[in-house]
Amino acid sequence: MTKQLQQLDRVVIRFAGDSGDGMQLTGDRFTSETAQFGNDLSTLPNFPAEIRAPAGTLPGVSSFQVHFASFDILTPGDAPDVLVAMNPAALKANLGDLPPGAEIIVNTDEFSKRALQKVGYAVSPLEDASLAGYSVHPVPLTSLTVRALEGHTISKKDAERAKNMFALGLLSWLYHRPSESTLAFLERKFASRPELVAANIAAFKAGWAFGETTEDFTVQYEVKPAPMPKGDYRNITGNVALAYGLVAAGVRSELPVFLGAYPITPASDILHELSKHKKFGVTTVQAEDEIAAIGLALGASYGGAIGVTTTSGPGVALKGETISLAVALELPLVVVDVQRAGPSTGMPTKTEQADLNMALFGRHGEAPVAVIAPQSPADCFMAALEAVQIAITYRTPVLLLSDGYLANGSEPWLLPDVEALPDLRVSFATAPNTPDGRFLPYQRDPETLARPWAVPGTPGLEHRIGGIEKADGTGDISYDPDNHHHMVVTRQAKIDGIPVPDVAVDDPTGNARVLVLGWGSTYGPIGAACRALRKRGLDVASAHLRNLAPLPANLGDVLAAYDTVIVPEMNMGQLAHVLRARYLVDVVGYNKVRGLPFTSHELEAEVERVLNDQH
């Protein structure tokens, strides 16, 4: 039958089902198709902490949201235009997020009496009026898939598992997505089992054919490619981008990269990715615990490598003593904290920004470090490069604060020109550094205050290491009070002297009296909210902090230039507290710790409320 083709400028789709329904894979494949088509996009995976959560329950729902558009976008979207619900739990868990009129594609095969009762439905929502405000498409996805795979040499259970490919085929047809990359992916994924290759491809094609032939979908939609700078792009998650940044840092510094890591959600993918790149001089060790992991990384730094450890909040808590040791030894070390909801184990698969206090202050003694926070999944690449550059130049630990939203989310990434990346080559100490032929391990570079980096075994450069305070210059053990004060002040001055770019303010009219200031992953929601407010004729300025220690030199002047400064954070106001103490500015915090990123609409409403209060 002939279908109408309708143009849209943006769409938000959410795939939802049990953890075993393959929603993350389905969303990832739809995202890859969309990236190949040329749309700008942003994604938000959301899944339980359990490997296989209880089937059919609300806590067991796994979802994947993708926002794609014909223009540049900053967030994975506030509310889905389309929900694909594989069972009653998926419908109930996500229904409250849907705007009126949203499309719901429901797998009716799973709406049994038992499944409905499990999530508290006395009557099926498909049979009462509770979904009257939405455009509902009841589709027996499971039985259609099983029927399409009749004749294939697979079990009924495997046939039912392929229903996510049927759904992907249907959505790929509905939104005019290319299918070649998915078919190639299936051939690679199931290469050792040809029968599964054939079955999954058949299920995908059956879903596509169902869209073409059913009378329930009379319109096919198209979202044209977004205008973007010329170049080669790929879809990338924050964890993969961060791993690539570390690889690039090794190449540009001509140093080996060593990762000591203990698996922890949501940082483990960095370990997985880096383990694939031995040919670039990367060594990865999965340690027995978090303390061993950072000890290995610090030892590698002492040996002349780029020492890196990756973890999340609970792991940083365990690594604190060794970070302090690295401060005392004045050796480079990169500590990646992919923040998640706490305290303790908290909500391991949910995002948060609550480790800033720990990054800035969470060590014993005066132990200052540099702190950097990327703003988007693709930005994790450059953040990793910058972290390594600071660490090896200033001989200091650097904490890189990503989070679960950035780690698992994805967006198009313009592949950089490798030759245009910073030259990170450093000079090791190779000879004595005094006129009388001695080596002073704590003799400092007058510009950076960094001490020499001497590789063990270099003749004549033997020196003592350890956590006990050193005499400046000689590195001898020292209990002298004045020397200790001098070393504490010098280590702080080294961090304070790291040159970081001035904070840039986006204030198009120059008339704004309200500044919205963010850090880390709040970049996208803040940008989208301010863009919406300006379209409505409201003046608002925005700025974003990448460097949190040291802070930009012009930040105090920027804060003082506005009547009100709003700082949205996924914590209880950690950056706001720092800014109040440092600059004596009455910062207005906007704080939520729900394990989910801010929506642009809630930030838009909060900023508008502040604007109205000023009048």
Q: What are 12-56's pLDDT values in tens digits?
A: 999 999 988 999 999 999 999 999 999 999 999 999 988 778 899
pLDDT at 518: 98
pLDDT band at 297 (very low <50, low <70, confident <90, very high): very high
Mean pLDDT of 199-227: 96
Domain membership flag for residue 228: no
Residues 351 and 394 in one domain: yes
**50, part of any domain:** yes
Q: In terms of domains, do 329 and 250 share one?
A: yes
604 within domain boundaries: yes
Query: Quick one: 129 and 47 in the same domain?
Result: yes
Q: Are residues 446 and 535 in the same domain?
A: no
pLDDT more than 90, % of the chain:
97
The boundaries of the domain holding residue 9 are: 4-223
**274: buried, middle or exposed (CB in 10 Å: 19+, 13-18, 0-12)?**
buried
Question: Of 182, 177, 166, 169, which is closest to residue 221 (Cα–Cα)?
Answer: 177
Assigned domain for 161 exists: yes
- pLDDT tens-digit profile of 373-430? 999 999 999 999 999 999 999 999 999 999 999 999 999 999 999 999 999 999 999 9
Report the alpha-carbon distance of residue 381 to residue 237 in Å, rounded.
Answer: 10
What number of other Cβ atoms are within 10 A of residue 115's Cβ? 18
> Do the beta carbons of residue 169 and residue 204 sit within 8 Å?
yes
Going by pLDDT thresholds of 50, 70 and 90, the confidence category of residue 614 is confident
pTM beyond cutoff 0.85: yes
Structural domain count, the chain: 4
Where residue 279 falls among pLDDT bands split at 50, 70, 90? very high
- The pLDDT value given to residue 332: 98
289 and 398 fall within a common domain: yes
Between vectors from CA 60 to CA 263 and to CA 571, what angle results, nearest 5°?
60
Q: Give pLDDT, residue 345.
A: 95
466: left (phi > 0), else alpha (psi -120 to 50), else beta?
left
The partner residues of 10 in beta bridges, in order of sequence, read: 69
Q: How large is the average pLDDT for residues 477-498?
A: 98
Residue 528 belongs to what H/E stretch?
A: helix 523-535
Confidence band of 457 (pLDDT split at 50, 70, 90):
very high
Residues 160 and 130 in one domain: yes
Helices (H) and strands (E) in the chain, counts: 20, 22
Whichever domain contains 134, its CATH number is: 3.40.920.10
Helix or strand (DSSP H, E) at 290: helix 290-302
**Residues present in the chain in total:** 615
Amino acid in the structure at residue 132: A
- Clarify whether residues 185 and 215 are in a common domain: yes
- pLDDT confidence of residue 51: 79
Out of 375, 405, 420, pick the residue that ends a domain. 420
Is the pLDDT at 471 greater than 90? The verdict is: yes
Do the domain assignments include residue 229?
Answer: no
The pLDDT tens digits of the residues spanning 306-315 come to: 999 999 999 9
Report d(CA 181, CA 431) in Å as an integer. Answer: 56
H or E element in which residue 381 lies: helix 379-394
Q: What is the pLDDT, as a whole number, of residue 1?
A: 65
Picking from 393, 420, 447, the residue at the C-terminal end of a domain is 420
- The answer on 583 and 445 residing in a single domain is no
263 is a domain residue:
yes
Of 467, 468, 407, 455, the residue nearest 269 (C-alpha) = 407
Same domain, 492 and 512: no
Asked if residue 184 and residue 40 are part of one domain, the reply reads: yes
Task: Copy the structure tokens of residue 422.
Answer: 């910073």
Determine how β-strand 306-311 pairs with β-strand 257-261: parallel
Q: Is 437 left (phi over 0), alpha (psi -120 to 50) or beta?
A: left
CATH code for the domain of 510: 3.40.50.920
Averaged pLDDT of the chain: 96
The tens digit of pLDDT for each residue in 104-133 reads 999 999 999 999 999 999 999 999 999 999
Residues 6 or more apart from 379 whose CB is under 8 A from it? 241
Q: Are residues 42 and 100 in the same domain?
A: yes
Mean pLDDT of 328-352: 97
> In the predicted model, what is the mean pLDDT of residues 232-251?
97
Cα–Cα distance for residue pair 115/535, rounded to 1 Å: 45
d(CA 557, CA 18): 51
600 within some domain: yes
Does some domain include residue 492?
yes
Element (H, E) at 314: helix 313-329
| Same domain for 156 and 18 | yes
| Among candidate residues 80, 126, 78, the one with its CA nearest the CA of residue 101 | 80
CATH number of the domain within which 261 lies: 3.40.50.970
The answer, yes or no, to whether residue 2 has pLDDT greater than 80, is no
Element (H, E) at 527: helix 523-535
Q: How many C-beta neighbours within 10 Å does residue 169 have?
A: 27
Domain boundary among 194, 223, 252: 223
Please report the pLDDT score of residue 613 as a whole number.
Answer: 87
Q: Is 145 helix (H, G, I), strand (E, B) or coil?
A: helix
CA distance 329 to 454: 12
